[in-house]
Structure 1
Amino acid sequence: MDKVVSSAADAVADIPDGARLAVGGFGLSGIPSVLIDAILEAGTTDLEAVSNNCGVDEWGLGRLLFAKRIRRMISSYVGENKEFARQYLSGELEVELTPQGTLAERMRAGGSGIPGFYTATGVGTQVAEGGLPWKYDTDGNVVVASPPKETRIFSTAEGEKEYVLEEAIVADFGLVRAWKGDRHGNLVYRRSSRNFNPLAAMCGRVTIAEVEELVEPGELDPDDVHTPGVYVQRVVALTPEQVADKRIEKVTTRPRPQQGGDPVQGSDDAASFGLGG
């Protein structure tokens, strides 16, 4: 039952070229940055990544993207990565954009053994009707477009309503980062890092978790566990230096007020988007 692996390099050593990875995190919060770097060092390529976003230009999945190790992305938000936009528009990267809630449910369904589900999100748009550009050529022509999806009318309390069929996502490997974890693979996430990490852990056939604090079995209150160990096959305990190496996606500042209410000139409070893991 002891699932602890000696290093991140050992944990990802059997990930082959062409694998589909489900990667947790929200913005830069809770991303498995150590495992991502280990994949980068291993030279693994031709990857398909399923993740809410693709990191930023110099951190997270953005590092694999910059090295051109990712051939395809399934994600919902890509606005913080200029290299992502460049590769997509120049025909170097295939991208399946998916509404965020739909993406979350597709991952959850994959981990629950549910092959698909109907949702109202996307009905009447190219999400359902097809035609979303998945891949361009170098001249800007669409060479791969999303196919039309099955729709169906259901009777609801508000009357008959149209829904679109979405297929579940199952990944070869799930990569997640947890605040705490035990040797059996039970995981606890912190704040916004809980958004997509549990889903990535569920839908991976083999799930690898990097944990900021490794505890012994029995030390975690079962009521606090977000991902049960049954979903996790490997655990990597991070060093204090690895835990501390976190990035801020976007920094904004504002004047710091004095006690009397007047701002102190030249002094800033820092706020950030993407913290929590």
Structure 2
Amino acid sequence: MINKIARSVADALADVKDGATVLIGGFGTAGIPSELIDGLIAQGAKDLTVVNNNAGNGETGLAALLSAGRVRKIVCSFPRQADSQVFDALYRSGKLELELVPQGNLAERIRAAGAGIGAFFSPTGFGTELARHADGTPKETREINGKHYVLEYPIHADLALIKAECGDRWGNLTYRMAARNFGPVMATAAKKTVATVHEIVELGQLDPEAIVTPGIFVHQIVKIDRVATQAGGFKKAA
């Protein structure tokens, strides 16, 4: 019987190895799989390459993972903001490597990995420093129908950590509004995908038309309780 429900975050992340490339969903603070990031910190894997839209907020979540010294390199499109002090300090001190990728290219490079695309040409970044590799050598370019393009390669990962809303034991997932963001493409691009959900339903309860991430792309799901706050928002249960 297929049952992808993990007993705990610790069980779901027990096999993460040092040096792994980890895709972490989220857009700013929307859709961040905070419990999985905390679990990764507790698990102890180090020398990680992390791919995320940004480089952490405040002192929690991705910022906490960076602060713990577990990340060697971060690949993102928006590293600096008002509360990105953890990233800022590490980067300026030379303790963290950064690969800056325009947001559209970031999404497409992840999608390309999931779709089995070897590489693709994008007009974004042509004629700028983003058209160079980390070592300073120029990326391949091509003129197509009078327009200039830069060759970009897929981002494959060992692990994807995403936050969903509902799931079933087969791993089918639905999302809540903007929390969806990078989750669906990241799930397709990793050797292993772990998702948190707030509700686990029986097989057949999810409308097939509403399933955004089919279970074939998901390896384990973990149920995270959610309780309402007095302000009407949500927080995780203790």
- Indicate if the aligned counterparts of 1:181 and 1:187 stay in contact, CA closer than 8 A: yes
> 1:146 offset after TM fit, Å?
4.5
Q: Residue 15 of structure 1 aligns with which residue? A: 16
Q: Residue 48 of structure 1 aligns with which residue? A: 49
2:151 to 151, 158, 165: 165
> 1:54 offset after TM fit, Å?
2.2
Q: Residue 59 of structure 1 aligns with which residue? A: 60
Q: Residue 144 of structure 2 aligns with which residue? A: 154
Structure 1 spans left out of the alignment, 5+ residues: 135-144, 247-277
> 1:195 offset after TM fit, Å?
1.4
Q: Once superposed, which parts of structure 1, at least 4 consecutive aligned residues long, lie more than 4 Å away?
A: none
Tell me the distance in 2 between the aligned counterparts of 1:146 and 1:61: 28
Tell me the distance in 2 between the aligned counterparts of 1:75 and 1:209: 20
Compared CA separation, residues 146 and 190, structure 1 to 2 (3 A): farther
Q: Residue 233 of structure 1 aligns with which residue? A: 219
Residue 121 (1) aligns with residue 128 (2): no
AA at the equivalent of 1:228: P
DSSP-derived class of the 1:87 partner: helix
DSSP-derived class of the 1:48 partner: strand
Tell me the distance in 1 between the aligned counterparts of 2:184 and 2:80: 23
1:192-245 deviations in whole A, cap 9, x for unaligned? 112111121111111011111111111111111111111101111112359943
> 1:53 offset after TM fit, Å?
1.1
Q: Residue 100 of structure 1 aligns with which residue? A: 103
Residue correspondence of structure 1 range 32-43 to structure 2 within 5 A: 32-43=33-44
- Indicate if the aligned counterparts of 1:30 and 1:177 stay in contact, CA closer than 8 A: yes
> 1:57 offset after TM fit, Å?
2.7
Tell me the distance in 1 between the aligned counterparts of 2:162 and 2:224: 13
User: Which structure has greater strand proportion?
Assistant: 1
AA at the equivalent of 1:69: R
- Indicate if the aligned counterparts of 1:49 and 1:70 stay in contact, CA closer than 8 A: yes
- Indicate if the aligned counterparts of 1:24 and 1:199 stay in contact, CA closer than 8 A: no
Q: Residue 69 of structure 1 aligns with which residue? A: 70
Compared CA separation, residues 57 and 146, structure 1 to 2 (3 A): farther
Structure 2 spans left out of the alignment, 5+ residues: none
Compared CA separation, residues 147 and 245, structure 1 to 2 (3 A): farther
AA at the equivalent of 2:96: L
Structure exhibiting the larger radius of gyration computed from Cα positions: 1
Tell me the distance in 1 between the aligned counterparts of 2:191 and 2:22: 10
AA at the equivalent of 2:190: G
Over aligned residue pairs, what C-alpha RMSD do you find? 1.7
AA at the equivalent of 1:5: A
- Indicate if the aligned counterparts of 2:55 and 2:80 stay in contact, CA closer than 8 A: no
* Residues matched between the structures, number: 229
